[in-house]
Amino acid sequence: MQRYHRKRHRLMWLLLGPLALILLIYAAVNRPQWPTMQASPGEAPTQEAP
């Protein structure tokens, strides 16, 4: 492998590795929070949760 390839690989992983990790963590931390609420009046009795 030529030297310029190795330099590019180094750069890739100094940039892309952290970038990928940041994307992963950001997406995990910013997931939407799903609300819960007590049953409303008059609806059918709910059955087993999935």
Structure tokens at 11: 């750069």
Distance from C-alpha of 30 to C-alpha of 12, rounded to nearest angstrom: 26
Question: Minimum distance from CB of 16 to another protein (Å)?
Answer: 5
Q: Write the binding mask 15 to 44 for another protein: x where contact by CB under 8 A, - elsewhere.
A: -xxxxxx-xxxxxx-xxxxxxxxxxxxxxx
Question: Minimum distance from CB of 40 to another protein (Å)?
Answer: 6
Angle value at C-alpha 40, between 46 and 38, nearest 5 degrees: 75
Residues of this chain that interact with another protein (CB under 8 A) are 1-6, 8-10, 12-14, 16-21, 23-28, 30-44, 46-50
